[in-house]
Structure 1
Amino acid sequence: MMLDSPYIYIIGRMGLLLISTIILVIFVISCIAYQIRIIARINKISQIREDFSYAMVHDMKTPLTTIFTALSFLHSGRLDDKPETKEKFFNVAKEEADRLLTLTNKLLTISKLENKKMKMECEKIALEPMLVRLTDKFKVKSHKPVSFEFDLQTPEIYADAEYIEEVFSNLIDNSIKYSKERVDIRISSSRNDLYSIIKIYDNGLGISEKDQRSIFNKYERAAAGSRSRRKKASGFGLGLNFVQQVIEAHKGKIFVNSIEGEFTEFIIYLPLMVKEL
């Protein structure tokens, strides 16, 4: 039998095999690409864990060293005839111990909130006394001039007093930490039909659009880590994640509005009244 085109005949006979081979090659390439993505994700997670561990150890080492030094001086007796200096060393040790305890509690709280093991004990809270208490504390603690302005059109909110105060404390602390030589903070409250709305505005360093997309992520390095290294501010990305977790546990929402180099504003929406959280 004579064939006009043996190549077409051979391809026709092997067509099914060729198609099967092409499908298999595509499948293998897809598997390799998927494995590469998994490896890249694992490497990213490992890097985040490594950076977090380093930041955690660094942030714990500093207060522990300070506490150890203060206790050594107190135990040595060299300050027994200097009551004012002795009291100063004692207060430093106490403040650093409080800092470690706050960090530990924040980690435990985030873990409980993520696993839905924490219930918010909500009640009506007067905003002004809480905010005055917080602003007085930060005025004393801050090493730079800080001014606060209130515009509280809604005097009360419905929330867990302990955790919502910690939320405000974190946001005010960030405003001061990531600011210029002087920081002006404005806190306002209003309401609509469903929510109490609290806004915390500062004239600080601002947050880039890129960082705004991930600023609430746990162990977020772009917003917390890199800004910390540039601006010499401590922390490793737990504060804003804690804030978001607490607000969401209240069935609320939080947003950030910022222009880098100009201002940052956090906007919190808390339900007016929720029977059960």
Structure 2
Amino acid sequence: FNFQIDPMYLEVKNSYSNLYEKVEIVPLVGAPITPENDEISTEMPLPGALADYKLLFRSSKSFLSKEINRSFWPVLGGVSLIYIILIAILYLIYRNLEINGRLFKLQYDFINNLTHEFKTPVSVIKIAGNNIKSAQVLSDEERKMYGNILDQEADRLNNLMNKLLSFSQIENKTIKLNKEEVDLEEFTENLVASSRIKYADFKISTKIDVRTSMLADPVLLSSVFQNMIDNAYKYSKAGHKILDIAIQQNKKNFVITFKDEGIGIEKAEFNNIFKKFYRIKSQYNQQGSIGLGLAFCKEITEFIGGDITVKSQL
């Protein structure tokens, strides 16, 4: 038997469709096939019984460009994604280092300020003690003066330690909240009276418009009031040490406002003043502060279910 195979009836499967647009079987000898202007072609002779024929691979330049782009963009996208991830990782590392550096500075400043806060009363107590020890005779007036000095500085140390302890307890939610009915008018007037004794040149006025008593922890509430009063005095210029305390009651809450005529706070500092250990750089804040006052007030206010905000005009 003799078999004749006509190659022109054979179907060629293009397994590399991303490389070759067309694959054809053409005679090895015959009229030459002229590729089009934008076409690239490759030939490959067939073996054996099909030796008189060849495979012709054709691809237009536009087809090749399209296939190259289709393969290139996913690679470019992958490389870009890796690049973005690396940039993000570097940014997170930088941000973490920056935050750690800022935290280290805050803690360093806190230790320095805390050391100064303890050092001042300790030095005063030591000087007063040495004077008492070295004096052969003390008059009643001198004895009373040194006694007052020792009491005041001991109270100062005690208040500082209590503030640090209370802040830690409130921050860790380990302090017990003892709520009771507080008569805000009587409560405020008592604090104002003691503050007027403490600050003789401080003009404090109150305006209290409430219908009921307030359910709160009087000790913690007193700490907030006292810190706000102390801050108002400390950050006001001589001759402008004025504080207005207003308390109003709406349907749901008590609104307590402390308004002074102090040096003011820049708007950019509004988000910082309630941070732990943070101190605004000013001539009024070079010493005597550990950066816990307003942070302490915020922690207490939120702990007892309230909120604290600031408004300022320079």
Q: State TM-score, norm by structure 2.
A: 0.72
The alpha-carbon deviation at position 252 of structure 1 amounts to: 1.2
Match of 2:140 in 1: 83
Residues 121 and 154 in structure 2, CA contact (< 8 A), matched pair in contact too = yes
Match of 1:242 in 2: 296
Aligned residue among 133, 137, 151 for 1:94: 151
Residues 79 and 86 in structure 1, CA contact (< 8 A), matched pair in contact too = no
Q: How much identity, in percent, do the aligned residues show?
A: 28
Q: Distance in 2 between matches of 1:190 and 1:197?
A: 5
Q: Distance in 2 between matches of 1:130 and 1:90?
A: 29
Aligned residue among 99, 110, 115 for 1:52: 110
1:236-269 CA-to-partner distances (Å, cap 9, x unmatched) read 2111111111111111112222212xxxxxxxxx
Match of 1:214 in 2: 272
Distance 1:130 1:74, change over 3 A: farther
The alpha-carbon deviation at position 30 of structure 1 amounts to: 2.3
Q: State TM-score, norm by structure 1.
A: 0.81
1:121-176 CA-to-partner distances (Å, cap 9, x unmatched) read 11111223332332222222226x22222211116322111111111111111111
Q: Distance in 2 between matches of 1:79 and 1:172?
A: 42
The alpha-carbon deviation at position 46 of structure 1 amounts to: 0.9
Count of paired positions: 253
Residues 177 and 217 in structure 2, CA contact (< 8 A), matched pair in contact too = yes
The alpha-carbon deviation at position 214 of structure 1 amounts to: 2.0
Aligned residue among 153, 160, 167 for 2:209: 153
Q: Distance in 2 between matches of 1:250 and 1:9?
A: 67
Q: Matched residue of 2:248: which SS?
A: strand
The alpha-carbon deviation at position 4 of structure 1 amounts to: 9.1
The alpha-carbon deviation at position 72 of structure 1 amounts to: 1.8
AA matched with 1:149: S
> Is residue 199 of structure 1 aligned with residue 253 of structure 2?
no
Match of 1:135 in 2: 192
CA RMSD between the two structures: 2.6
Question: Structure 1 or 2: larger helix share?
Answer: 1
Q: Distance in 1 between matches of 2:87 and 2:203?
A: 60
Distance 1:233 1:141, change over 3 A: farther
Match of 1:165 in 2: 222
Q: Matched residue of 1:60: which SS?
A: helix
Q: Matched residue of 2:242: which SS?
A: strand
Larger Rg: 1 or 2? 2
Aligned residue among 109, 122, 125 for 1:64: 122
